[in-house]
Structure 1
Amino acid sequence: MTEWYYHLPGQGRVGPMAADDVRTAYRDGQVQRDTLAWHSGARDWQPLDRFSEELELDGIQPARRAPEPPAIPASPAYAATAGASAAQASVYAASTAYAEPSSPYAPPRASVSDTGTYAALDASDVVYAGFWRRVAALVIDAIVVSIAYYIVMIVMFIFVGAAAFGAIGSNNAGAAAGPIMAMFAVIYLAYPVISGLYYIGFESSTAQATLGKMAVGIKVADADGRRLSRMHAFGRWASHLLCYFTLYIGYVMAAFTERKRGLHDMVASTLVVDRWAYTSRPDRQQRGLGTVAIVVLVLGALLAVAYVGLMMAVAIPAYQDYLQRAAAASAG
């Protein structure tokens, strides 16, 4: 069962608890959408709103908090006493925080200063994913989707081949037409279906990133930095068609636009940012390519050069042979 935690000012970390307990706390007004939350498997503390779909918060009407009474000016003596009490409380909180036993299974700690609205945490410093960083992620994702596609194709060929040979062996050639038509349908439809499930599922998950994006440390968010819904992720995936129609110019636009957005990002109102953007730790954002992205780009360039060399090694002798045949034919 997934264990949930949330962080309240003055109380610190609350949990572990089940998802039902978090929903109850939200319904009772104990926590709000901007309360920092974490669950086992998440990479960082996030505002509770980021988990609204997972916790089904949209269908819950939270209780309204009673307005706080206006502050009454205190006398100088009371202010001095209150200041001393606050200092003692801060010392006690610091000591208890350090006294808490550390565990590799404990969720990340969040300080009281981490609480607040989502925009206040993140909007001041956002690192947008550059063109080459996104290319490196695309290379990894293309390999993953292609491997899944060929696995499906191999399984399909095995079953279709067995069915076709069985039909032919029984002198029923018409029965083989069905499996063969199914095979052609899979050949044309399997790749887009696998690609759609892959991109939509991962980019709308809590990680907000495909395996390739995770590897290079970037993620996808909406225009406000929030996690995409399933339908929003579907719209972003479908808008890739516009980049194909523009002969991939839509992808190249990410190298020149202000927020590094491709045509599909503009149409779907999405951003591709560093994995630590729009979190409580924007200082961890990586502004360069990173080791993984550099390695992937170098290997990709080497493979491209090797491919071009192989094609030239095949094409040049074939062209020379063609010239010799043409010369012999004209001389004869």
Structure 2
Amino acid sequence: MEVWIGRDGERHGPYKEADIRQWLRSGQVSIDDLGWYEGLADWQPLSVLFPDEKPASAPPMAPPLPQRAATTAPEATADYAGFWQRFGAWVIDLIVLIVPSTIAFYAFGGLDAYKHFLEQVQGGADMATAMREYILGAQSSSVATVIIGFIYYALFEGSKWQATPGKLALRLRVTDIHGQRLTLGRAAARNAVRLTNIITGLIPFVCYLAVTWTQRKQGLHDLVAGTLVLNGRASEQAAAPPSRGRDDGAFNA
């Protein structure tokens, strides 16, 4: 487990749990410093996160403040995108995807399956049978459409823009839990969860409704993949690497 340390409104790390335990025992960090790790709802004092770790002796004064600049705690500055913003971005992306999806529908036999379905209905065939045959006939085009959507979202959200065209239009970006750009693997995982909506036919409700009540306005796919949707395009953000702790056994934030 990796833990961020919060001090005076700034975050430092992340650090390995074993290192933090050692620093608590040696007094290099204070039990009053705050800690946070992925999955924790809010910052907690280190004395709460590691109640079994106590300094061997009380330090003569509080541990010194970090000597170099650190990044601001994400919860203090993050501007989370709301439900209707994200829904609007989804609608725009749906419109953009109409073109490649229509091409796939034609190319993989979807139109022929639909024409055959209409002919059966007009000829008085059993509706259940006609619908079953249509679903089977349009299966290839449906799979192609799903794949196109998956690639679209994963590549755009894992790109330098960190957003699909719909999110760019509404000045949104997708980040990991620390506000950094997604790896392609995390972007793919995020959108793999969204595919469950396609299977159930409940887009966008299953994934997006959670945005209305979660603390950081995360959808189901955000919670599973550890991602956030924030206001502001990636190009508008200051280009600064995340603050990282050293692995040499010292607290140097």
Question: TM-score of the superposition, structure 2-length normalised?
Answer: 0.50
Instruction: Work out which structure has the larger RCO, using CA pairs closer than 8 Å and 6 or more positions apart in sequence.
Output: 2
Question: Could you say which structure has the higher helix fraction?
Answer: 1
- Structure number with greater Rg is 1
Normalising by structure 1, what TM-score?
A: 0.39
